[in-house]
Structure formats: C-alpha cells, structure tokens
Amino acid sequence: MSNNVERYVALVYWLRVTSLAEECENPKDVGFECAEAGKQMRFYHDKITGVCQPMFYKGCGGNENRFESAKACREQCSQTAPQRTRKGKVIKQQPLMFKDICNATYSPNIVKPLDRCKLSDTCEANYSCHQGNCCPKKEYVCKLDYDSGKEAVENVHEPRYAYNSHLNTCGRFSYFRAEGNFNNFLSFGDCMKFCGVQ
C-alpha cells in the first residue's frame, strides 16, 4: 500500500513540475482586445533571459504564461527563473556614477566604493587602475551574468540591458533598482558600445 502512495505522490509531483515548466516556457502572448476587459499590466516569464518581465495584457485570450505580479511569476516559475533577494537597501540614485570615474557606460546602483590605486597591479583581480581608481575590466563586466538586484521599492523595476557573452548581444532585463552587478546598462546602444566589440 505504501508503494502505491509513494507512486501517487511522485506522479503528482512530476505532473506539477512538468506543468510549471510548460506554463513558464510558453511565449509572451498579450492576447487580444475585447469588451470584457481593458489593458492590464501583467508579467510573463521570458524563457530566454529567465526573468519575469512586465507586459500589457489586452484583456482576453493569451496563454497561461501571464501573472498578476512579478512575485507570482517568480513563485510559479522559480525552477527556471533566477532567484534574488527581496527588499534591497535603498540607495541614492547615481545613474552614471562610474561614467566619469571609469570612463564607462554601465549603470548599476551598487554600494561598492572603488579602491584607490597608483598602478594596475595594486588593484584586485578583474580590476585595473584608471585615473587613480580601481575600475572593473571590460572583459570582466561583459562576462558577468545579468543580475536583477534587490527590490528598493516593492514591485518597482526599470528596464536595463546586459551583455550575454554566449549570444554576443545585449538583452533586456528588469532591474529592481538596488545592487546587482556592473553588467547593467541604461540602453541597448550603451551595452553594445561597451561590450559588443571584444
């Protein structure tokens, strides 16, 4: 009898895992306009980036890859989406702090004071000395996986771009406005200009 129960539990678990994966792997589908409902902000799981992205749902139709909130999307698609910590430290907005210091275009809100230096060999690995500051090397920045960061404010995010070294192009992701890493650009153009020519 216990073997049957174990098999049943295993089957239910397998069906749940399979249905989660299928639901989260569906393509983005905004549906169609109808009289019953107007446009609504929803979230879908982007299977290429593995990130829950915002979309405007037209009100009818579509597929099951549609969630009321980013949190619901992440919870449902957690097996395929990268995890991140909630409630990041609120950081004063300094959009291009590194542009002047490191002559770069990446733009994360991260708390990482740059070490001072006189020569590149005094900087930690993956950093080089630029005008007296240890700045991350281009090769290092462009090989980092994107990082959505932490939520500074619940459900508030902004579009950013990160370089994907496997695809040799930049892709859009949702940045939650705190922390993250240096592979974080305000525009596709900035991202490709910095990382596109290796």
102 lies in the same domain as 182 = yes
CA–CA gap between residue 179 and residue 111 (Å, rounded): 7
pLDDT at site 88:
46
pLDDT, average across residues 122-130? 89
Helix ranges (H only) for the chain are: 2-25, 70-76, 97-102, 138-143, 188-195
110 lies in the same domain as 191 = yes
75 lies in the same domain as 36 = yes
Q: CATH number, domain at 154?
A: 4.10.410.10
Most confident of 115-124, 147-156, 186-195: 186-195
74 lies in the same domain as 157 = no
pLDDT at site 84:
41
pLDDT, average across residues 107-127? 76
Q: 78-103, pLDDT tens digit by residue? A: 654 344 444 444 444 444 456 667 87
The greatest distance separating any two alpha carbons of the chain, rounded to the nearest whole angstrom, comes to 73
Answer whether residue 34 shows pLDDT above 50: yes
36 lies in the same domain as 65 = yes
62 lies in the same domain as 105 = no
Single out the residue of 190, 191, 148 nearest to residue 169, CA to CA: 191
- Within 10 A of 35 (CB to CB), how many other CB atoms are there? 7
Q: Give the pTM.
A: 0.52
Residue 151: domain span: 97-115+141-195
128 in any annotated domain:
no
40 lies in the same domain as 105 = no
How is residue 67 annotated by DSSP? B
62 in any annotated domain:
yes
145 lies in the same domain as 106 = yes
159 lies in the same domain as 74 = no
